[in-house]
Structure 1
Amino acid sequence: MTSAGNPAPTLDAAIRAAFPDLAGTYLDVSARGPLPLAARRAAEAMLLSQATGAIAKADWFDMAERVRRKAAAMLSVAPQDIAFTKNASDGLNMVGAALRLKAGDRIVVAPAFEHPNNVLPWLWQAETNGAELVQIAPSQGEDVEDAIIAAIDDRTRLVAVTSIDFASGRRTDLHRIGTVCRARGVFLLVDAAQSAGVLAEDMSVLPVDGWATAAQKGLLGLYGLGLLYVNPAWMDRLRPVFLARFSVDMAEANEAAGPEGGWQLKPNAGRFEVGNHNFVALAALEASLDLLALVGRAEVERRATSAAATLRAGIADLGLPLLPLAEAHRGHIVSVGDAIGSGHDSTDTPWINALSIAIREAGVVHSVRRGVLRLSTHVHALPEVVARALQSIEDWQRKTMR
């Protein structure tokens, strides 16, 4: 898809062709990603095969293993280090429970920078197992990373962080936190719901022990499917709470074979899989992973963050407030507002509500989260998409100043 002269126009054309059904100005990947045409067709083909009774389940299992290999390649890990889950929350809970935390063990998390689904599991661990939850609240001007690292001690077993804050768009320095965790023997678990498929996350470089995500955002897939990566160095210390046929190895390979002939826990991430997969969602995800691989993970990140940077600069030029983010912590999410507040889909700040309504009417798909207006980009956010969004914001501003 590239040429020696200027590959960008060719790649731009391929990206436009991948999303022919996408209407309006879509900047809401942080809520859900747009579904590529190839992914929709792949899902429809799976549904049709069941509707007509033309089901070849062995082929479905083969497809699942292809997806596993492609997801592993995206992260630079071995296929056996990837498990299929229902969503990011499913993966986070699986690993948290498998650590078998007990009284005296400490969990470190910074709730103000996390989605509730990366806080509630740890509150539950504290309540049910007696683990101690250390809730970090950085002081004014203190980096989240500094505060988390300062809280790690000899009793810390787990640090849970997000790769990107879903509201502010702040990108976590996973390498910095992970380096300390690895030196202290602490499990670093990452909620990658906002980064997967958008950022180039290389687990051969990042000192991350667990990574959980859902398919419907940056992976451009469907609801009801997630990916879980687990560092194989930890596998022997992780005891899953649930067990089913797919979680174990048996003498007989058939999926309905019983344990009479002997069984053992799978030595890899497969131990976390407890049943048949969401094959329709896997078929869609395979097509989306192929698109992301075509563009290239570094180029995907470059395009998404470049589009966000253009949005950020254009909004700043209009004089509207943006949540302040140091350059190193910027990603593909741009949050418009004075400060993090409250509100989901709407906010207590009148001008943000007015702006949200106006640009939505102009076809700009976006979200309001924790009181700020959130614009999030991906490969589909080509220059014309960004230009339309900025024009819609400028049009609203001009009308309000009359």
Structure 2
Amino acid sequence: MELALEKTMIQNEPSCWHAVRSRFPGAEEGPYLDLSGRSLLFEDGRTALNAHLDALSVGLVDKGALFEAVESTRALFADLIRCEPDEICFTRNVTDGIAAFGTSIEWKRGDTVVICEALEHPANVYPWFGISRKFGIDVRSVASDRGALSLEKIIDAIDSTTRVVAVSAVSFAPGFTFPVAELGAECRRRGVLLLVDAAQAIGVANIDARQWKADAIVASTQKGLMALYGLGFMFVRQEVAETLKPAYLSRFGVDQEGHEAHLGNPSSDAYAPGARRFDVGNYNYPGIVTVAPAIRMLLELGQEQVESYVFGLAREFANRILDLGLPVFGGRPGSHSSQIVTVGSDLGSEHDSTGDHDMLSLYEHLSANRVRLSIRRNLLRFSFHIYNNESDIDTAVAFVAQWIERHGSDARALTRT
């Protein structure tokens, strides 16, 4: 079922976003502010998944139709990030994409990869250390700067040995945006490959692979794409992909016509064009049919409008939390802001815990009142998407204010941090 949205509608009109929210039944169960953990499932995606499962249950799956769905979804994702379908392949998740890209490079001992280990999700850390163990390369980690990744420090870390720079477009904690396009221009100038982890940006931020000058972009579907675990996408720039040799070769990774099980000449068949050479499998058909309706909706809404609306909600929430006297990491919203708002003063190292008893008390109070959020690295993490609205902000802020009132001196101690 398609959303009845006029393409000429002013997308910031409340009626548009009300129509969107109505397609997420979970949005009425209390403020769901945990997109950065996982999204609510889009109702049309669930409908498509149910139809697929129904066909499986009675033995009426049409394999040809599934292949058509694969190509349709590939093209949808390509449109979402403004690239060509041949530059898109399917992966299991972000880690899988990074590992597939990294292991396809012809490394020389002493080559380096530049990352910020302190801010990256483990999905963008472990693959590079795995490649280091296998190929003898060095992982050069740049220090964070008060929870942010400094463009200048990243650029300063690049030298003649650097083959790849890997960054996140939006950090999972504290949720700051990064000027990818500026880094991309510098990497392109120096002949260094740029890989971007878009897990926290895809489906929310307005992404243009060409403008970013990225060589690879990896993403998964359970967050901003409002679908399932176990499916991801990888963009590889055409000119770069043609130089890469995947670690795994599949029937779908070679350039030949005919049945999916047709065996050509495995010793000499040419790689499939562009990123398609990384396709392995059979595909994750349940994940593919589930995510397609969500991507269609995002394209219909327009990524510029989506970013404006969702980032706007996050800015309003951050300002209202600050007005209550609680610390928002990074201060007032600015150029660093995204759909993620983190509350607290100190960025820790533990992934999903906090040693701050006041923060834990506030988290428990919100959770008990059906406000969904996460704890990440000592911070309370609130994250927004297209199904959120002003009423979610009002409700969450009211419960925060209630906690402050009930906890007296403890709350005052927190507001002074």
Pairwise TM-score range, normalised by the shorter structure: over 0.9
* One of 106, 125, 148 as aligned partner of 1:119: 125
- 8 A contact 1:343–1:368 mirrored in 2: no
* 2:320 corresponds to: 314
Give per-residue Cα distances to partners, 1:335-362, cap 9 Å, x unaligned: 0001101444431111110000000111
* 2:163 corresponds to: 157
* One of 217, 228, 234 as aligned partner of 2:223: 217
Please identify, of 367-376 and 235-244, the stretch whose mean Cα deviation from structure 2 is larger: 235-244
Structure 1 residue 294: Cα displacement: 2.3
Provide the rounded CA distance (Å) in 1 between the counterparts of 2:35 and 2:301: 17
* 2:335 corresponds to: 328
* 1:47 corresponds to: 53
Structure 1 residue 236: Cα displacement: 2.4
Provide the rounded CA distance (Å) in 2 between the counterparts of 1:184 and 1:207: 12
* One of 361, 366, 390 as aligned partner of 1:359: 366
Structure 1 residue 139: Cα displacement: 5.7
Provide the rounded CA distance (Å) in 2 between the counterparts of 1:386 and 1:7: 17
* 2:405 corresponds to: 398
- 8 A contact 1:342–1:348 mirrored in 2: no
Give per-residue Cα distances to partners, 1:95-140, cap 9 Å, x unaligned: 1111132212111011111001111111122222111111111466
Unaligned residue ranges in structure 2 (runs of 5+): 410-417
Structure 1 residue 204: Cα displacement: 2.4
Amino acid at match of 2:116: A
1:103-118 pair list within 5 angstroms = 103-118=109-124
- 8 A contact 2:11–2:305 mirrored in 1: no
Please identify, of 97-106 and 278-287, the stretch whose mean Cα deviation from structure 2 is larger: 97-106
Give per-residue Cα distances to partners, 1:207-246, cap 9 Å, x unaligned: 1110001100011110110010001121222111010111
Provide the rounded CA distance (Å) in 2 between the counterparts of 1:184 and 1:7: 40
- 8 A contact 2:12–2:305 mirrored in 1: no
Matched, 1:384 2:391: yes
- 8 A contact 2:149–2:178 mirrored in 1: no
SS at match of 1:18: coil
- 8 A contact 2:86–2:275 mirrored in 1: yes
Provide the rounded CA distance (Å) in 2 between the counterparts of 1:392 and 1:291: 32
* 2:288 corresponds to: 282
- 8 A contact 2:21–2:388 mirrored in 1: no
TM-score normalised to the size of structure 1?
A: 0.96
SS at match of 1:189: strand
Provide the rounded CA distance (Å) in 2 between the counterparts of 1:397 and 1:21: 28
Amino acid at match of 2:137: A
1:2-401 pair list within 5 angstroms = 2=6, 8-22=13-27, 23-138=29-144, 144-250=150-256, 252-260=257-265, 263-324=269-330, 327-401=334-408
Identical columns (%): 34
- 8 A contact 1:21–1:37 mirrored in 2: no
TM-score normalised to the size of structure 2?
A: 0.92
- 8 A contact 1:192–1:212 mirrored in 2: yes
Provide the rounded CA distance (Å) in 1 between the counterparts of 2:75 and 2:145: 43
SS at match of 1:134: strand
Provide the rounded CA distance (Å) in 2 between the counterparts of 1:132 and 1:342: 23
Provide the rounded CA distance (Å) in 1 between the counterparts of 2:38 and 2:360: 21
Unaligned residue ranges in structure 1 (runs of 5+): none
Amino acid at match of 1:15: V
- 8 A contact 2:147–2:347 mirrored in 1: no
Amino acid at match of 2:387: H
Amino acid at match of 1:348: G
Please identify, of 120-129 and 51-60, the stretch whose mean Cα deviation from structure 2 is larger: 120-129
Cα distance change of structure 1 residues 20 and 241 upon mapping to structure 2, 3 Å threshold: same
SS at match of 2:249: coil
Provide the rounded CA distance (Å) in 2 between the counterparts of 1:217 and 1:161: 18
SS at match of 2:55: helix
SS at match of 1:181: helix
SS at match of 2:310: helix
Cα distance change of structure 1 residues 161 and 10 upon mapping to structure 2, 3 Å threshold: same
Amino acid at match of 1:329: H
Give per-residue Cα distances to partners, 1:34-78, cap 9 Å, x unaligned: 111111111111111100111111001101111111111001101
SS at match of 2:118: helix
Provide the rounded CA distance (Å) in 2 between the counterparts of 1:4 and 1:188: 37
Cα distance change of structure 1 residues 387 and 140 upon mapping to structure 2, 3 Å threshold: closer
Question: Which runs of structure 1 show a deviation greater than 4 angstroms over 4 or more consecutive aligned residues?
Answer: 2-7, 138-143
Cα distance change of structure 1 residues 309 and 76 upon mapping to structure 2, 3 Å threshold: same
